[in-house]
A and B are shown apart, each in its own frame.
Chain A
């Protein structure tokens, strides 16, 4: 059965800290791995990763994929209170056109 597991489930840090969120997967016909940020409403897209070892970067956020070990990490440096959200990882399975979501990591950044 396809599955995506995120860790930790929740995390509380102080502003300025660096955090690393983990996403491991077991999915047949892997096509891509996507990271989303969800605040109070709908998830918003952060990154899509398809190739191992190539870092995607956007400001203080970066992500990398390891297709051999079947995991991805999302790094956030110099965290701010605005980074408080649920971070969702999803894997796109090309065989079934489905996106399999993890349960998310709830990040809270304290001022």
Chain B
């Protein structure tokens, strides 16, 4: 049981390049989330999903896209990278059911856009 895994761990992009951050969970959670964390700040929600085929915007969705074709995977796409997207990106999942609804976090992807 690996929990939430993210790839890559680190990435440097040039302005205007695109990339996909991968996120996979093996806990059969319906709910998945993408956050970004800037230095010295808390977590800001980019997008979330309540199940396969259903996604919705969070606080800071501009410049990102997501898809959720399976329960396990929730990739985050950056189409035209900008320096403002330099951040650490965390994927999380939760069951949202019953009494326990904590989020489980992946190890994060540190992205630098130059």
Binding site for B on A (CB under 8 A): 6, 31-32, 34, 41-45, 48, 88, 90, 92, 97-104, 106
Given contacts A41-B107, A97-B48, A99-B33, contact A92 B42 (CB under 8 A): no
* CB neighbours of A98 from chain B (8 A): 45, 48, 58
Binding site for A on B (CB under 8 A): 31, 33, 35, 40-45, 48, 50, 58, 90, 96, 100-108
* CB neighbours of A42 from chain B (8 A): 90, 105-108
* CB neighbours of B45 from chain A (8 A): 98-101
Complex Cα spacing A42 to B35, Å: 11
Of all A-B residue pairs in the complex, the 7 with the closest CB atoms, nearest first, are A42-B105, A103-B42, A101-B42, A101-B43, A45-B102, A104-B42, A43-B105
Q: What would 8 A/B residue contacts be, using CB atoms closer than 8 Å?
A: A41-B107, A42-B90, A42-B107, A43-B90, A98-B58, A99-B45, A101-B43, A104-B42
Complex Cα spacing A32 to B96, Å: 11
Contact A34 B108 (CB under 8 A): no
- Which of A44, A48, A97, A99 meets B100, CB within 8 Å? A48
Closest chain B CB from A83 CB (angstroms)? 19
**Chain A: CB-nearest residue to B105:** A42
Closest chain A CB from B70 CB (angstroms)? 19
Complex Cα spacing A28 to B99, Å: 19
Given contacts A31-B101, A48-B100, A88-B42, contact A97 B31 (CB under 8 A): yes
